[in-house]
Chain A
Amino acid sequence: MTDVVMTLEMIQASQVGTKAIAAALAVGLTGFASAWAELTIGSAAVGATAENRDVFGMVLLLTVLPETIVIFGLVVALLLLF
């Protein structure tokens, strides 16, 4: 083995760092996924609203349905951090 010495503090610090990276990935990737899903729904929703003003409430709701994905990501991140 080489002469790299890992102290307990270093291991703990790297654990904290890894957790933070994992939390960031959880929120970031799920946020991206939500945005991607909302992209398609959003453009269809705008089209539908242009055709018929009355569906606005309904399509606003459909547009935010994929928000659940990022919410789960956020739950995971919070559980990792605290």
Chain B
Amino acid sequence: MLRPEQMRRLLIAAPKGEIDTIIRELYRHNVYHIEDFVPESESPDALSIGHPLPGASDAASALIKVRAIESVCGIKPEDVEIREKLPVSKVRAMIETDLPAIQKEVEGLVSTRSRLEARKKEHEQRVKELKPFVAVPLDLELYRGYTRFTVFSGHIRHDVAIDAPHEKHFSDKVDGNMIVVVVPNEYREEVERTLLGAGFQAIPVPGGSGVPADLQESHTGEARRTGEEIVAIDQKMAEIRERHTDFLVACDELLTADVERAEAPLRFAATEETFISEGWVPADQVDRIRDALEKVTGGRIYIEELEIDDTTRVPVEYENPSFASPAQMLVDLYSRPLYSEIDPTPMVAIVFPIFFGLILGDVGYGAILLVMSLGLRKFIKGDEGRMLLQVLSYASVSSIIFGIIFSEIFGASLPWPTLLFSRHVSIGAAAGGHGPQITELLILVFWIGILHITLGRILGMGNSLRSHHGKHAIKGVIANAGWIGLMWGILFMVWGFYALPLMPDLTGLPVVVMGLNASAVVGVVLLVVGILAIAQESPLELVEVPTVISHVLSYARLMVVGLSSVTIAMVVNYIAISMMIEPYLEAITPVGVIMIIMGLLVFLLGHALNTALGLLGGGIHSIRLQYVEFFTKFYSGGGKKYNPFGMKSKFMEE
């Protein structure tokens, strides 16, 4: 807790003959984080990047095939429920025997489907082309093949009169109207001018012969039939998916593992006869992996534990109690801690739900979110999503608890008075009791802020001792203490001058010098010493001094965002219940029933909106207080993720 998992740096060297065995063993254990070998100018000439194992390209091309089949069948390995685990040997045998057949079948289906789709599109296109001509009672062959006549066919704004010998058909039954005019060639230009004057747009006459309506019908029928064939093919695909999903995902897993193993030497340094690899292993796994490697190679391996000289290169794996681990996601969203740093996850795990509850303290909304976070667990499969839901469910429980304390359910009050300070805003008819205790609530959240920031600064001292040495470490500790002194100095000064609720009243202390009482003097001293302490590390830091006040004030959001959500809830209740439902309940009339239904609708919609706002506001503002106000005091982040070489088998068993 508070520290990432301890890591050891290992150097493995062995003859190339053992490389396959060693990679296999490392992969099986899934604990070795490979440090990629990067050839540099100062590294010995004899060292170069290793070559992939034989079979790498075969495995890779097989994997591409499997992924292609998965993608056309719509199989996503991460979303597949595990039904039964297949033995590795069986999967390997099936890759030889079954995979080519499946691939052939799928390829055949895909190509047939794309052919059918093209045909369907063609028919649909023909239907579209024929559509305007259906309105004209002429066979298609009558539009073509004249030497002495010209045929105009197209859309037009309105019917026109043509003063030349002609045959004309006009229809306003189709979009944009349809006109067909046949005139002797000598009148062509004249008629064309007339037509263009009415906004004529020529459309080409579709090929083929016969009555357009019949043709259109037959093409529509064809398109429908092709569509049915496509559906049949989709069904076949679904059958394949149903039958082979287990095998395909297992295949994917096996081949991915093969490819990763075969390409591992690319991350090692190699000489003519040997290879060298550097990597990281959790401290409690070192002995196990060392013994295992020595056993499989029969001692033909050299393993050395190296000093950790640069802590920024160490991969970081969280080590948290189970209640805190979902909050790792929130910390990762900001940045993974450095190896030498304090891991703030447990603090975030405790404080985040409390802040969320303070903001959204309402039994009703809390219950909705709790049900939602538990219900969505069935549908969201990814690790991150699950963690987020876990965090959300803790947060909703906390909001139910604070709802009980604040006596709130959907903005209305519970049968008991508030146990802490009232957040009940008086609106319209809901007035009664005493209004919200703004000042008390404000000072309560400022206290939370002061303590949270002080904790951050104390952690900052710890981090400074850990990440720096000698003079730098001491300077960092003094500067952090200076920030604490500055903040509490201001507090003591305020206490010396003003009596505030929920804060110690020190105005009565005896005056010491220049009209300042003891508390104010202590405050001034702390403030001056604090500023000096900050300046000794870096005078530039003094620019940040106003943040002492602004960061504490920022915790006001804990109260204000909550109050705004209470206000919205109360407004919704007032409109829905007091204005739309209650007045009509006394005597039921038809209008009254409609109003009551509308009122219920307003009630539901309003509270749905407020739940969404509460989730967003509560979540974002609580996490912001962690990131901006808390983390900036001690946390730098930027650690590398621990990513061991290997895989947890999901669909296969040994």
A residues in contact (CB < 8 Å) with B: 57-58, 60-61, 64-65, 67-68, 71-72, 74-75, 78-79, 82
Contacts and interface: CB of A to CB of B under 8 A. Distances in A.
Contact of A58 (B333, B438, B556, B620): B333
Given A64-B621, A74-B560, 6 more contacts: A57-B333, A58-B333, A60-B620, A65-B628, A71-B554, A75-B442
A75 B560 contact: yes
Size class of B's contact patch?
20 to 34
A79 B560 contact: no
A64 B620 contact: yes
Contacts of A74: 560, 563-564
A58 B556 CA distance: 22
Nearest to B329: A57
Given A58-B333, A68-B557, A71-B557, A78 B624 contact: no
Contacts of B627: 61
Given A57-B333, A61-B627, A82 B436 contact: yes
Contacts of B557: 67-68, 71
A68 B620 CA distance: 12
A29 B330 CA distance: 33
Nearest to A54: B333
B89 interface: no
* Chain A contact residues: helix, strand, loop or mixed: helix
Nearest to B564: A74
B358 interface: no
Given A57-B333, A61-B620, A61-B623, A78 B560 contact: yes
B563 A78 contact: yes
A11 to B, nearest CB: 23
Interface in B420-442: 435-436, 438-439, 442
Nearest to B623: A61
A67 B359 CA distance: 15
A7 B144 CA distance: 97
B124 to A, nearest CB: 34
Interface string B596-624: 00000000000000000000000011011
B435 to A, nearest CB: 5
A79 B439 contact: yes
Which of B442, B554, B560, B564 counts the most chain A CB atoms within 10 A? Answer: B560
Nearest to A27: B564
A61 B442 CA distance: 24
Nearest to B561: A71
B619 to A, nearest CB: 10
Contacts of A68: 554, 557
* Chain B contact residues: helix, strand, loop or mixed: helix
A71 B628 CA distance: 16
Contacts of B435: 82
30 contacts: A57-B333, A58-B333, A58-B334, A61-B623, A61-B624, A61-B627, A64-B620, A64-B621, A64-B624, A65-B624, A65-B628, A67-B621, A68-B554, A68-B557, A71-B557, A71-B560, A72-B553, A74-B560, A74-B563, A74-B564, A75-B559, A78-B436, A78-B438, A78-B563, A79-B438, A79-B439, A79-B442, A82-B435, A82-B436, A82-B438
B263 to A, nearest CB: 24
A69 to B, nearest CB: 11
Contacts of B563: 74, 78
B643 to A, nearest CB: 16
Nearest to A77: B560
Contacts of B334: 58
Closest 9 CB pairs of A and B: A57-B333, A74-B560, A82-B438, A71-B557, A78-B438, A71-B560, A75-B556, A64-B620, A82-B435
Contacts of A71: 554, 556-557, 560-561
A64 B561 CA distance: 13
B334 to A, nearest CB: 7
Contacts of B553: 72
B618 to A, nearest CB: 12
A68 B556 CA distance: 9
Which of A58, A60, A82 counts the most chain B CB atoms within 10 A? Answer: A82
Contacts of A82: 435-436, 438
Nearest to B627: A61
Contacts of B554: 68, 71
A57 B624 CA distance: 11
A65 B620 CA distance: 10
Interface in B529-563: 553-554, 556-557, 559-561, 563
A74 B435 CA distance: 16
Nearest to B436: A82
A65 B632 CA distance: 14
A46 to B, nearest CB: 17
Contacts of B620: 60-61, 64
A75 B436 CA distance: 12
B353 to A, nearest CB: 18
Interface string B553-582: 110110111011000000000000000000
A77 to B, nearest CB: 9
A72 to B, nearest CB: 7
Interface string B323-346: 000000000011000000000000
A78 B440 CA distance: 12
A61 B556 CA distance: 18
A70 to B, nearest CB: 9
